[in-house]
């Protein structure tokens, strides 16, 4: 025998016509709400209909990053905490959403330096780099809601790329552009820069870059970039010529003295002090100069930076 109270509870739990989550009568009434990345969904940041969060050009944090999960088009979580993409599926999404789609735009929310995202072939490369956070804050796109990403039919010429990635410093201080504010899972915690694990991790990247040079990969760094990144130049040279070690080192010093980065400008991964823009201090080489004022931006030349 069913008590009146039990009966009432049953009535309340029964789906009604106005409850669009569950309908026992007509399956069409049970359509799931559209996912946040449905093709019709507007940009989670600005409401634009010509791009979604993955193509939103400007930062939405004071740190110069775009907060949110780019493939999901939501600000509710980061890709590290994404319920949809986990493990290897997440890694497969990274290069597309956080490199290819971010080229010339501010970096997305990710707890590593963008240079630490390997491409689909497992190579570390400077192709498709997002802007540095400071550069993104200094030179935001003027009408972000109208921005059309090249991957969605926009003009690649409209991208205002960060000239830093064409400089000889482009491989320096890997880890420097880590987003310390990025939301992460505990198993994605950032390695301690002083730990053996971190040093081994960085050495893996070096090995990868060195292999690219030896194999003649198209995405390889220049020797000077690799010098700046690491101390492996003299380990590379024996592969590319047959001079003696002393001759190679002598030539290397000559090269560097006539290059934009002198020997004193080589990477020191544990710099003691930082300049006012947060870069590790250096006293001899002029840093890359961004264009003089917002609005006067011109596309950087291949050789460096426009005056
Ligand atoms: Zn937007
Ligand atoms: Zn997500």
State in Å: Cα 207 to ligand 2 middle. 32
Coil/strand/helix, residue 151: helix
Residue 47 CA: which ligand is closest? 1
State in Å: Cα 104 to ligand 1 middle. 15
State in Å: Cα 139 to ligand 2 middle. 28
In a 13 Å sphere around the CA of 124, the CA atoms on its Cβ side amount to: 25
190-208 tens-digit pLDDT? 667 677 887 787 778 877 8
125-178 tens-digit pLDDT? 899 999 999 999 999 999 999 999 998 899 999 999 999 998 888 887 777 787
State in Å: Cα 77 to ligand 2 middle. 6
Sketch the domain layout of the chain as residue ranges: 35-189, 191-270
Helical (H) or strand (E) element with 236:
helix 233-240
Distance CA 271, CA 193 (A): 12
9-40 tens-digit pLDDT? 444 445 444 444 556 677 666 677 788 999 99
State in Å: Cα 304 to ligand 2 middle. 37
101-129 tens-digit pLDDT? 999 999 999 988 899 898 888 888 899 99
State in Å: Cα 20 to ligand 1 middle. 29
Say if CB 182 and CB 111 are below 8 A apart. Answer: yes
Coil/strand/helix, residue 37: coil
Residues with CB under 5 A from ligand 1 (ion): 43, 45-46, 48, 56
Distance CA 198, CA 52 (A): 34
Angle at CA of residue 299, ends 294 and 302, nearest 5°: 135
Residue 82 CA: which ligand is closest? 2
State in Å: Cα 18 to ligand 2 middle. 29
Percentage of the chain surpassing pLDDT 90?
A: 32
């Amino acid at each position: 025998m069913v008590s009146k109270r039990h009966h009432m509870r049953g009535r309340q739990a029964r789906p009604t016509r106005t409850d669009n989550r569950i309908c026992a009568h007509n399956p069409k009434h049970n359509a799931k709400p559209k996912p946040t990345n449905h093709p019709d969904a507007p940009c989670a940041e600005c409401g634009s209909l010509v791009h979604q969060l993955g193509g939103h050009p400007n930062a939405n944090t004071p740190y110069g990053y775009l907060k949110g999960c780019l493939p999901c088009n939501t600000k509710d979580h980061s890709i590290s905490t994404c319920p949809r993409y986990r493990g290897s599926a997440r890694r497969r999404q990274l290069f597309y959403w956080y490199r290819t789609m971010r080229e010339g735009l501010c970096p997305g929310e990710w707890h590593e330096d963008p240079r630490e995202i390997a491409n689909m072939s497992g190579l570390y490369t400077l192709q498709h780099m997002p802007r540095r956070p400071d550069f993104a804050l200094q030179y935001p796109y003027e009408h972000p809601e109208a921005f059309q990403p090249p991957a969605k039919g926009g003009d690649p010429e409209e991208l205002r790329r960060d000239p830093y990635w064409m400089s000889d410093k482009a491989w320096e201080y890997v880890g420097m552009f880590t987003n310390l504010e990025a939301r992460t899972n505990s198993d994605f915690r950032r390695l301690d820069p002083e730990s053996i694990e971190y040093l081994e991790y960085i050495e893996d990247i070096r090995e990868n870059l060195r292999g690219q040079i030896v194999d003649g990969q198209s995405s390889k760094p220049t020797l000077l970039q690799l010098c700046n990144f690491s101390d492996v130049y003299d380990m590379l040279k024996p592969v590319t010529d047959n001079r003696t070690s002393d001759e190679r080192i002598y030539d290397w010093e000559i090269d560097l003295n006539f290059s934009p980065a002198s020997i004193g400008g080589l990477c020191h991964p544990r710099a003691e002090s930082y300049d006012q823009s947060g870069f590790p201090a250096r006293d001899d080489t002029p840093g890359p100069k961004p264009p003089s004022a917002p609005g006067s931006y011109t596309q950087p030349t291949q050789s460096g930076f426009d005056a």
